[in-house]
Amino acid sequence: MNGGDARDAPRYARPFALVFLAALVVCALGGWNLWPFSSWELFSRLRTDRQTGWEALSVTDSGQVRAYPLATLPDGYRGFAATLARFPADSVASRDATCTDWLHDASRRLGPVWLVRIYRVEWVLSDRRGGHAAPRHLALAWTCKANGAHAAS
């Protein structure tokens, strides 16, 4: 480390550097994500081997059952998951409207669809079968029809 003549540094250099570096530390300690002053918490919390997610299947008018590709939805899988997280608390009208949107979207992609089944998926990461993950456990959560959303009993 070599020192130097600090006289030609601008007057604001010292307070600016101090505030800048303090903001970096304070945001991390406070857990605030004031991007680009991030909290740097990525992957900091322990993961468990129990995982949950969502899957959807569509049933066409001809009776064919096909996977409804959630990842290719306009808001992606995360948008779908975020919608379903608040789905039970939404009003009936809001749920019905969302379901109609999904039905229309599925029909546009896969041909005439009369039903979309939404499943809650659970799996255990440590449950491996050879080099592959063990089959996932699917539980029906919601059914979307033309007349609206129906919770699985």
Which residues make up the interface to another protein (CB under 8 A)?
A: 1-10, 12-14, 16-17, 20-21, 24-25, 28, 33-49, 51, 74-76, 78-79, 82-83, 125-126, 128, 131, 133
Q: Which residues contact 38 (CB under 8 A, 6 or more apart)?
A: 27, 28
What's the closest the beta carbon of residue 2 comes to another protein, in angstroms? 6
Please list the alpha-helical segments (H only) found in 9-145.
13-30, 76-85, 92-110
Q: Which is nearer to another protein, 43 or 89 (CB)?
A: 43
Residue whose CB is less far from another protein, 38 or 64: 38
Which CB atom, from 60 or from 105, has the smaller least distance to another protein?
A: 105
Q: State in angstroms the smallest separation of the CB of 88 from another protein.
A: 17
Q: Match 């255990």 to its residue by tokens.
A: 124
Task: Between 108 and 111, name the residue whose CB sits nearer to another protein.
Answer: 108
Distance CA 122, CA 127 (A): 12
- Residue matched to tokens 């080099």: 131
- What is the closest distance, in whole angstroms, from the C-beta atom of residue 131 to another protein in the complex? 7
Taking the CB of residue 88, how many other CB atoms lie within 10 A of it?
10
Q: Which two tokens stand for residue 81?
A: 């998951």
